[in-house]
Copies of this chain bind each other. A is one copy, B any other.
């Protein structure tokens, strides 16, 4: 059958005969599910589907465990009871699972035990993944627990069916102002999410239409929740802070007004009647024109707590986005700095947020640029729950048209040591609440899939959704492990295919950086437009604050404490010291932290300007190479995907040249310094 990409990494393609036979000989031919919950039933169905696809055999369903053995699915205590002689082990974490194959007498049991119903499903997907990857089962005995409780995705879908920063077609949830009649794609999406352990999903844009909270929408939203429920994915709604006034008809939305608090309480109770397992609510306030507590001189904590308290009795969480900044900043004032905003807004409120509030912080201080340091806010909050917001949809990364694998970039942020309590406090541990013993926290990915058959507009971008989910479950996985897994699951186990695709993916972020904004310049795109094409000056001389301050004399933004905006001082001293000094600031972030002349010598022994020129040529050459590598896979990848990816890469190679020339010409003109290799302006 034609590979449309719809099944993504869950294709369950038939294994070769020898491998299939080996599994058929090892796995019990019977499946027993011990619980009646919809999620456990889903697990059983998925197991049968996967085994049938990969091994060509259909498991027999039994309601009791036969003496000769079975694959037994269920909650941990039920499995211990049902499978003879399962020894005492560690109790499983919530949503965790244990896989084990054991013989008892002459029987052979493969148990999939979950710490929750979701854990049973996650364990089932893990088992199927092992089979698809060709891993041996003979001594299977594995425990796995999620790194953090929050593993969510967000969607920026508008009620009319468009998606802000979505590049894979129209909304799977919404069309023409109502929830779609046919939600089969929502259910398929739930399956993809569950296979990664993702347990929450928001369905409407953070730039929210307030009508979402009207009575008219509740039964529609409940239908989406229903489609997700068998996959263990809980619904999340974005809300508008003005709702009490705009929807509720109150005269005010002041969070300290008793009537407003009562309105939120009543509205939340109503929501939970429609969706009893609603995971929580999400708010973007006082940012990019959204209204917020500043209208009444209230704090973000006041705003968050009034809604959080309404959610509390239902066990819901309230996510407050840390992406708050003034987009009318005076660009002439060299002390102004948008990068400071998240810390300046939230650090002083640390300790004032209720225990079911989570501050959702973008991984860098600006906005998903090609290179940013990790946000200092992660290292600052000690008494407040946090989540890291990672963007899966490639807003600033060539959208659906260029190949950029974001996992290596995310890993750098997640592994970065904020030195928040001495050394050894990487961002991942902070957001998971492990450093300051917070009750909750974790990971949020802005997914923005759409109705396109392949979800994200192209086949290769699926690796970002896969990688986000795998990191949310276990951020200690390496980029290489994730790329290898994804490639094998998505394109099969042919070694040349695996090596080629893995290698393309792994280098792609650094290559993209080379020709779109190296040395910490950030992505030199039209930041006031669609965030796609090259536009070196679009970020300058306006209030949006994505300035790189390049002119005839030099480039970069001085964010030091000594002479700049002071942003570097928002980090803990050991980190701040490193960024503050030209001697220790890494080259890749040089222009993010410092303004230097074009002739400034990098640690590499080359000037800034020549490095800019060279990297742009290097990047374009690398993308050219993508095309050649891909062509060697002809006949090894199914025709449809082969042709679609080839077309994408050929287009991508052209784009890299356009970027190269536009950026180099701009800096050539600005600096007046010739390219030592004589290329810029001449070819």
> What residues of chain A have their CB less than 8 Å away from a CB belonging to chain B?
18-19, 22, 26, 67, 84-91, 102-107, 130, 134-143, 405, 407-408, 411-412, 415-417, 423-424, 426, 478-480, 483-484, 493, 495-496, 499, 502-503, 505-507, 509-510, 514, 574-575, 578, 584-590, 602-606, 611, 614-615, 618
Question: In the complex, what distance in Å separates the CA atom of A636 from the CA atom of B200?
Answer: 48
Q: B606 to A139, Cβ gap below 8 A?
A: no
Task: Indicate which residue in B91, B480, B587, B589 contacts A136 across the interface (CB closer than 8 Å).
Answer: B480
Contact residues in B for A602 (Cβ distance below 8 Å): 84-85, 104-105
Q: B89 to A499, Cβ gap below 8 A?
A: no
Given that A22-B499, A618-B106 are known contacts, is A85 also in contact with B586, CB under 8 Å in the complex? yes
Q: A479 to B90, Cβ gap below 8 A?
A: no
Contact residues in B for A105 (Cβ distance below 8 Å): 587, 602, 604-606, 611, 614-615
Task: Closest B residue to A139 by CB, please name it.
Answer: B408
Contact residues in B for A590 (Cβ distance below 8 Å): 85
Contact residues in B for A483 (Cβ distance below 8 Å): 136, 139
Question: In the complex, what distance in Å separates the CA atom of A426 from the CA atom of B84?
Answer: 22
CB of A667 to closest CB in B, whole Å: 15
21 A-B pairs in the complex with CB atoms less than 8 angstroms apart: A67-B606, A84-B587, A85-B588, A85-B604, A88-B574, A88-B575, A89-B416, A91-B423, A104-B587, A104-B588, A105-B611, A106-B604, A138-B502, A138-B505, A139-B407, A139-B408, A139-B483, A141-B412, A141-B478, A142-B478, A493-B495
Task: Indicate which residue in B18, B142, B495 contacts A496 across the interface (CB closer than 8 Å).
Answer: B18
- Give me the 10 closest cross-chain CB pairs, A-B, nearest first: A84-B603, A138-B506, A105-B604, A139-B408, A85-B587, A85-B586, A138-B507, A139-B506, A139-B479, A105-B611
Contact residues in B for A89 (Cβ distance below 8 Å): 415-417
Q: A479 to B104, Cβ gap below 8 A?
A: no
Question: In the complex, what distance in Å separates the CA atom of A647 from the CA atom of B117?
Answer: 49
Question: In the complex, what distance in Å separates the CA atom of A589 from the CA atom of B87?
Answer: 9
Contact residues in B for A514 (Cβ distance below 8 Å): 103
CB of A154 to closest CB in B, whole Å: 25
Task: Indicate which residue in B67, B135, B143, B606 contacts A415 across the interface (CB closer than 8 Å).
Answer: B143
Contact residues in B for A135 (Cβ distance below 8 Å): 480, 484
A26-B503, A84-B603, A138-B503 known, 4 other contacts, Cβ within 8 Å: A85-B604, A139-B506, A139-B507, A139-B509
Q: B604 to A67, Cβ gap below 8 A?
A: yes
Question: In the complex, what distance in Å separates the CA atom of A505 from the CA atom of B136?
Answer: 10
Question: In the complex, what distance in Å separates the CA atom of A514 from the CA atom of B103?
Answer: 10
Question: In the complex, what distance in Å separates the CA atom of A55 from the CA atom of B509?
Answer: 26
Contact residues in B for A18 (Cβ distance below 8 Å): 496, 499
Task: Closest B residue to A513 by CB, please name it.
Answer: B103
CB of A581 to closest CB in B, whole Å: 11
Task: Closest B residue to A417 by CB, please name it.
Answer: B90
Given that A141-B479, A143-B415, A415-B89 are known contacts, is A134 also in contact with B499, CB under 8 Å in the complex? yes
Question: In the complex, what distance in Å separates the CA atom of A505 from the CA atom of B141?
Answer: 15
Contact residues in B for A618 (Cβ distance below 8 Å): 106
